[in-house]
Structure 1
Amino acid sequence: MAYRQGMTSPRTALVTGANQGLGLALAEGLATRLSDVDTVLLTGRDPRKVAEAAAALPANVEGRVLDVTDTEAIARLAAELGGVDIVISNAVARVGPTDSQSARADEFIDVSNTATHAVLRSFAPILRPGGRLLVVASALGTLGHLDPRLHHLFDGATLDQVEYAVESWRAAVHNGTAQEAGWPLWLNVPSKVAQVAAVRALAANRRERDLAEDTLIASVCPGMVDTATSRPWFGDYPAVQSPKEAARAILDLVFTPADARQYGELVQFGEVLDWRSGTPPLAQDALLTP
């Protein structure tokens, strides 16, 4: 391995939302790049799918049932493991272009945001020196994709403040005041901004120590990936990647020395995306069902 030279095995890696798509490709890639004595925990909430996915991968992959919306289950798993070397938070709820965004808000927020917060809170304290804690987000996770009225909720926020902002957004969706307050109809935008803000908040308190130990905490954008979740949203895009192709850049981030420029940031194909870049997605909002 390229990072943590001299580190001892066995190592433990964990991927959420890993029984299909990008998560499955990440679990397979980790299993291939790690040694036979290391363990990759492939997690998902459907026992049958988890078992089938793990059985098709190398012997160092272990399937674990984990519903990321159960924050207590996340905490229990972290306590059971006691220490971990690689964590990739990848779980996402599937929402189609014709689905009611408001009707799907709770499920989407629970999987993408509440679960992300729980993963950060539970696994960051047990991340071993030289470890990697990555949250799969999106290029839509930069602050500029939100209405400027909302920027103060996430810019320089603590993790507690990010969590409060997410719950305020959820409440606004339910009481019908979200658009009036500046929240976009498209759930993906505030969700991804909140994911990136949560990672930035966690990293802000650990930066000096983590970099001294070659530990990396970051959010990552895999680019356009051809999965069951994303396929309904795009047509014929030549830049679309297979899950295995998309996993490659994320895995490279895991297996190369930590770069101080990437620490706490949103990284796409090795490059840091400007936190304040982007514009609100008004065109997408016009196409969505409230």
Structure 2
Amino acid sequence: MVTGANKGIGLALVEGLAARMGPEDLVLLTGRDAGRVRDAAALVEKATGTRSLVEGRVLDVADAGAVAAMATELGERHGGVDIVVSNASALLTPDRPQAEQADEFIAVANGATHSILRSFGPVLRPGGRLIVVASTLGTLGHLDPWLQPLFDGASLDEVEKTVESWRAAVNAGTAQEQGWPHWLNVPSKVAQVAAVRAVAAQRRARDLPEGTLIAAVCPGLVDTPLSRPWFDDFSRALTPAQAARAVLDLVLSERADPKFYGELVRFGRVLPWHDGTPPRHQERMLIS
């Protein structure tokens, strides 16, 4: 199952999974707009020649109840899932105040990450893959030092509580006074990786012997409508299909490398959790 899969890297991931898996496999392409989901599934079917069965499903990842219901359904219908890629993201633009965009952006990026980890972790089959698409901004060092303890070693409940506190501060106009970066994408990505690390810490002893992988991935700078508002130079950007390849290599690897477990991975390399430079008062940060 791939979320946020009706365009961009999510669609490329579904295309790659459908092309590289067998006719007995089912790939779920999910999104919240029924028309776009239907059109995307038809596009994948045409591109891959239905090597694998691709099924479009409407799923609003900001709705924790809907996420839980789908996880329960798939557990009962198929006995579990082998691959889950949490990829959904909301559009964030520099031409509107960050506070106006905070609720939807955080609900999709972070609320969905929490829901996917909570609901799909229990139905992930032994040897499965649960992957959260994040970015290089997800390392702890991108936050000022006094904020870092809020995420370092935190449980998923604690991460969720901190995210809600940050969101409330953004809406109240006090976030920068508290040291939070102006650009929402920075704390959001750190929180995504912290959530992955929290769940991985609880499951590590059971997952590693079974070959199960839970990790966050950075696909690099990808030329999509989500990144276009923030960058001027796309000369070195990847297409969604190019970015999906490294993620698919990780997801479909025959043996999960234990060094990737619970970490943020970029092109086959672990990005150390404590790396990064605080953005201070920059208006924007580039991701790569």
TM-score when normalising by structure 2: 0.93
**Is 1:64 matched with 2:57?**
yes
CA RMSD, Structure 1 to Structure 2 (Å): 1.1
**Whole-Å Cα distance in 2 between the matches of residues 86 and 170 of structure 1?**
30
**% same residue:** 66
> What is the match of residue 55 of structure 1?
42
> What is the match of residue 6 of structure 1?
none
Contact 2:219 2:243 in 1 (8 A): yes
**Is 1:231 matched with 2:231?**
no
Q: Using the TM superposition, give the Cα deviation of residue 75 of structure 1 relative to its aligned residue in structure 2, in angstroms.
A: 0.3
**Is 1:45 matched with 2:42?**
no
> What is the match of residue 213 of structure 2?
216
**Whole-Å Cα distance in 1 between the matches of residues 20 and 284 of structure 2?**
44
**Whole-Å Cα distance in 1 between the matches of residues 125 and 213 of structure 2?**
11
Letter in structure 2 aligned against 1:23:
G
**Whole-Å Cα distance in 2 between the matches of residues 36 and 244 of structure 1?**
22
**Is 1:81 matched with 2:74?**
yes
> What is the match of residue 24 of structure 1?
11
Q: Using the TM superposition, give the Cα deviation of residue 173 of structure 1 relative to its aligned residue in structure 2, in angstroms.
A: 1.0
Q: Return the match for 2:283 from 279, 282, 285.
A: 285
**Whole-Å Cα distance in 2 between the matches of residues 236 and 44 of structure 1?**
29
Letter in structure 2 aligned against 1:55:
A
- Inter-CA distance 236–175: structure 2 relative to 1 (3 Å threshold): closer
Q: Using the TM superposition, give the Cα deviation of residue 177 of structure 1 relative to its aligned residue in structure 2, in angstroms.
A: 1.5
Equivalent positions of 1:1-290 (< 5 A) are 14-58=1-45, 59=50, 60-82=53-75, 83-256=80-253, 257-282=255-280, 284-285=282-283
**Whole-Å Cα distance in 2 between the matches of residues 56 and 102 of structure 1?**
36
- Inter-CA distance 286–213: structure 2 relative to 1 (3 Å threshold): closer
**Whole-Å Cα distance in 1 between the matches of residues 208 and 19 of structure 2?**
26
Query: What count of residue pairs does the alignment treat as equivalent?
Result: 274
**Whole-Å Cα distance in 2 between the matches of residues 199 and 122 of structure 1?**
13
Structure 1 unaligned spans of 5+: 1-13
Letter in structure 1 aligned against 2:159:
V
- Per the alignment, in what secondary structure is the counterpart of residue 29 of structure 2? strand
Letter in structure 2 aligned against 1:271:
R
- Per the alignment, in what secondary structure is the counterpart of residue 243 of structure 2? helix
- Inter-CA distance 41–286: structure 2 relative to 1 (3 Å threshold): closer
- Inter-CA distance 286–117: structure 2 relative to 1 (3 Å threshold): closer
Contact 2:223 2:234 in 1 (8 A): no
TM-score when normalising by structure 1: 0.92
**Whole-Å Cα distance in 1 between the matches of residues 235 and 84 of structure 2?**
30
Structure 2 unaligned spans of 5+: none
Letter in structure 1 aligned against 2:173:
G
- Inter-CA distance 54–286: structure 2 relative to 1 (3 Å threshold): closer
Q: Using the TM superposition, give the Cα deviation of residue 283 of structure 1 relative to its aligned residue in structure 2, in angstroms.
A: 6.0
Q: Using the TM superposition, give the Cα deviation of residue 286 of structure 1 relative to its aligned residue in structure 2, in angstroms.
A: 6.5
**Whole-Å Cα distance in 1 between the matches of residues 284 and 151 of structure 2?**
25
Contact 2:183 2:284 in 1 (8 A): no
Contact 2:182 2:281 in 1 (8 A): no
1:187-241 C-alpha deviation (Å, 9 max, x unpaired): 0000000000000000001112111111100000000000111112112233200
**Whole-Å Cα distance in 2 between the matches of residues 165 and 84 of structure 1?**
30
